[in-house]
Structure 1
Amino acid sequence: MTSPVWHPFTQHGLNEPIPEVVRAQGALLHLADGGTLIDGIASWWVTTHGHCEPRIAAAIARQASQLDQLIFAAYTHAPAEEVASGLIDMAPRAEGQPELAHVFYSDSGSTAVEVALKMALGYWHNLALDGLADARSRILVLEHSYHGDTIGAMSIGERGVYNAAWTPLLFDVGTIPFPATGQEQACLDALEAACADKPAAFIVEPLILGAGGMLIYPAPVLREMAAICRRHGVLFIADEVMTGWGRTGTLFACEQAGVVPDIMAVAKGITGGAIPLAATLATAPIFDAHVSTDRARLFYHSSSYTANAIACAAAAANLAIWREEDVLVRIATLADGIAMRLARLTTHPAFANPRQLGTIMAIDFVAPDAGYLSDLAPRLRSFFLEHGLLLRPLGNTIYLMPPYCVDADQLDTIFAALHAAGEKFGAQP
């Protein structure tokens, strides 16, 4: 019987196998046919401490029997209050920069970004109503970015196969060239020139672009980007949906540049990957611009499940793990293990451009059809599945982003399969 399920980012016409996972623990996925897979990409970058982490699972179970769901418009509950306070305490800080002070909940990375954009535009709209600033509406983005699949998030992402069908729905943005090695100053000069025209905001994935190909740029460039925005009064938005929760080696990537954004989007690992939740953090001026005795000036955004109590309980447990356990030590150990094994792989002629940031590793497979639609990608996915791995290449780019609990033997298995893939596919035209 054909399944009625329509899977995301899946071309059903190719009839590729779709394994059924029945159980997960740590870094392992257990399949209905009795097999296992090592989850090398944290199930789309969300699982941090490991699947079915006991503290988080217990918190979900407790909360499910106390309060499951509550309208969050003018109501609140303890888990949401606890997580908001924890997020503010953990958020990036830097001397001389306003602190992130308010938390708005949503349910995914895309919606966290949509909220960030609406906050930024609402800020300038309300200041203009009060005669305190000129209205600003233009958004600046970084080349090759990806921020999600809702309309606003697609509009500020790279244009191409991801969103070609919906071009009529997308709004215009200003694109700043990616600061590739040797092109850093060109990027900064372009941002300086664009900011002179008084845009509303500039949004970036800090330090590494995810779906755009795991492209890495240095912390000093991120720091100067934020400084340029401050000089011109342009809001600086950090999309930490993927980079947050330790992926880059620090809790948030912005910490490595000493940057406090005006608005910051977080999701994915906020619950340890157990259940959907997202949040958008903003400084006091962003919040204050929406505060008024005029009811028409409120922030018009919500979803039915905003700040779901069960999801917030999971997030509270995740924050407790970060406070009470040596998570950064685990991350550093994992990063060292990846670096050691990656070094052995870099001499293989099938691979090029090895790169790593924290627990994120990427390497490009030398292929005649590079890019997201490379014919190599489905063959690699099938090969890795046969070798007991969940890896999902971005075209000809193979990347690794495992849960922090992955052990040395599992890393050895992953890198042995990468080497084997190089042997199998490297000589093919």
Structure 2
Amino acid sequence: MTPSPIWHPFTQHGLGEPIPRVSHAEGAVLYTDDGRRIVDGISSWWVTTHGHCHPRIMAAIAEQTTKLDQIIFAGWTHEPAETLARGLTAIMPPELTRVFFSDSGSTSVEVALKMALGFWANHGSARDRILVMEHSYHGDTIGAMSVGARGAFNASYAPLLFDVSTIPFPVTGGEQATLDALEQACRAAPAALIVEPLILGAGGMLVYPAWVLAEMRAICARHDVLFVADEVMTGWGRTGTLLACEQAGIVPDILCLSKGLTGGAVPLAVTMAREAIFEAHLSTDRARMFFHSSSYTANPIACAAANANLAIWREEPVLGRIADVSARQGDRLASLAALPNVRHARQIGTIIAIDLVDPAGSGYLSHLGPRLLAHFLAHDLLVRPLGNTVYLMPPYCITDADLDRLYESIADAADMASRL
């Protein structure tokens, strides 16, 4: 067989690492062409919530394919999108009255940034600075990279990125420094603050407390700074509640959602906004409209999948399943935390993470990363460490037996790392 022409994301092909070929999936398990059974410990990059190929979602997709596949959404509409928009406004905070469709987490962030800047521009204000949090990650398009941490992810593209103001991550014991920095930055009248609520994902699964999130929201409100919550990863139950913001008792001005929006089945994203954001763009002047779209905005098949996901949330005990997975992980995490070379064991909802000691240096490019990845693949597990940080974020249907396999393999990996 000739080599594949595929250029894979976040893959250094020069390392020659094996790339398994998956044939089908069910629940929390992937199956490969060569007959392997792979436990999906990270929900296939954080998207799969109820399980792969969930029957209700698959049925909704199949039914929609016989009705309408795609239609321009500029000046046109369709039932799946209308149903989804109403369903979202019913399940999300009532203050978020408007739903703008896009196709990925990165683009939902791009939309949010453009909404924020458009809000101030249409009010005749020159507020155009964006505030971000240290170590944050919001995607790989240009705007999303600009509001993410600068480093290995985007160093080559620095000439394309716009300047932002950064507040420090609220480390334990240093929370007030973060709040003071935000207060100071807000005095300069920026346009918006964008944050990943409660946990920073690709930045290392860094967790901070809900009271800090609440205080950040309050500071922004006092200074009339728009508050953007990127819940692309944290939404749909990952942190134990439908939205992470719930745990802080806050509602953002703009909310980004994707990944679990369709249960992880097909790409779709939304950016939800308060009515004031919409009204700032509402005019008889066409130059004040919101200038953003993509060819597949509100794709009917993707919207049908999302509607099935909402039905599952309405009609099934999803939060109970989430609480169960969280509790089962908590019991196992305690054993990992006791291992000698494990540091900073942490959990929020269904997400757990640990850091393995790496004398050569920590972070995304830690030399442990490729070795850990190879270890998990050799044990038929989909676990993709962030350098020396190992984390789990499984589908909510995962069994005890498969959880045991994951945790036993992480313990073995910790032992392996200690001997390197």
Query: SS of the counterpart of 2:292?
Result: coil
Structure 1 segments, 4+ long, off by >3 Å, are none
Q: Aligned equivalents of 1:49 and 1:145: distance in 2?
A: 27
**Aligned residue in 1 for 2:52:** 51
Aligned positions of 1:301-312 closer than 5 A: 301-312=292-303
**Structure 2 partner of 1:419:** 411
How far the C-alpha of 1:393 sits from its partner, in A, is 0.2
1:352-373 deviation line (CA, Å, top 9, x unaligned): 1100000000000111121111
Query: How well do the aligned residues superpose, as a CA RMSD in angstroms?
Result: 0.6
Shift of 1:345: 1.1
What is the CA–CA distance in structure 2 between the aligned matches of 1:350 and 1:196, rounded to whole Å? 43
- 2:119 corresponds to 1:123: yes
The alpha carbon displacement at 1:87 in A equals: 1.1
Partner of 1:251: 242
Does the aligned pair in 2 maintain the 1:57–1:314 contact within 8 Å?
yes
Greater shift, 171-180 or 364-373, is seen at 364-373
Q: Which amino acid aligns with 1:335?
A: S
The reply on whether 1:219 has 2:219 as its aligned counterpart is no
User: Within the alignment, does 1:406 sit opposite 2:401 as a pair?
Assistant: no
Q: Which among 57, 81, 99 is matched to residue 103 of structure 1?
A: 99
Counterpart of 1:340? 331
Match of 2:350 in 1: 359
Q: Does 1:144 align with 2:135?
A: yes
Tell me how far 1:409 sits from its aligned partner. 0.6
| Corresponding residue of 2:33 | 32
How far apart, in 1, do the equivalents of 2:7 and 2:24 lie?
A: 21
How far apart are residue 148 of structure 1 and its match? 0.2
Q: Secondary structure at the match of 2:107?
A: helix
Matched-pair contact (CA < 8 Å) for 1:92–1:255: no
Structure 2: gaps (5+ residues): none
Residue 253 of structure 1 aligns with an amino acid whose one-letter code is A
Measured after TM superposition, the shift of residue 388 of structure 1 is: 1.1
CA deviation vs aligned residue, 1:294-351 (integer Å, no higher than 9, x gap): 1111100000000000000000000000000000000000000000000011111121
Q: Which residue does 2:389 correspond to in 1?
A: 397
Provide the secondary structure at the position in 2 that maps to 1:187: helix
Tell me what 2:307 maps to. Answer: 316
1:8 maps to which residue?
9
Q: Deviations over 1:185-230 (max 9, x none)?
A: 0000110011011000000000000000000000010001000000
Partner residue in 1 for 2:378: 386
Per the TM alignment, residue 425 of structure 1 is displaced from its structure 2 partner at its CA by 2.2
Distance 2:223 2:309 in 1: 37
Matched to 1:100, the amino acid is L
| Structure 2 length-normalised TM | 0.99
What is the aligned partner in structure 2 of residue 80 from structure 1?
81
TM normalised by structure 1 equals 0.97
What percentage of residue pairs aligned between the two structures are identical? Answer: 66
Q: Does 1:330 align with 2:331?
A: no
Q: State the one-letter code of the partner of 2:335.
A: R
Contact 1:92 1:254 in 2 (8 A): no
Q: Answer whether contact 1:241 1:266 (CA < 8 A) is retained.
A: yes
1:190 aligned to 2:204? no
1:91 offset after TM fit, Å?
A: 1.3
- Matches of 2:177 and 2:366 in 1, distance apart? 29
Cα distance in 2 for partners of 1:281, 1:127 equals: 20
Residue 371 of structure 1 aligns with which residue? 363
Unpaired runs of 5+ in structure 1? 94-98, 129-133
Instruction: List aligned pairs for 1:279-318, cutoff 5 A.
Output: 279-318=270-309
Partners of 2:218 and 2:141 in 1: how far apart?
A: 29
Deviation at residue 32 of structure 1 after TM alignment? 0.5
Please state how far the C-alpha of 1:423 moved relative to its aligned partner: 2.0
Secondary structure, aligned partner of 1:363: strand
Amino acid in the other structure paired with 1:17: P
SS of residue paired to 2:123:
helix
Query: What is the one-letter code of the residue matched to 2:134?
Result: E
Q: Deviations over 1:1-44 (max 9, x none)?
A: 11000000000000000000000000000001101100000000
Correspondences of 1:228-247 after superposition (within 5 Å): 228-247=219-238
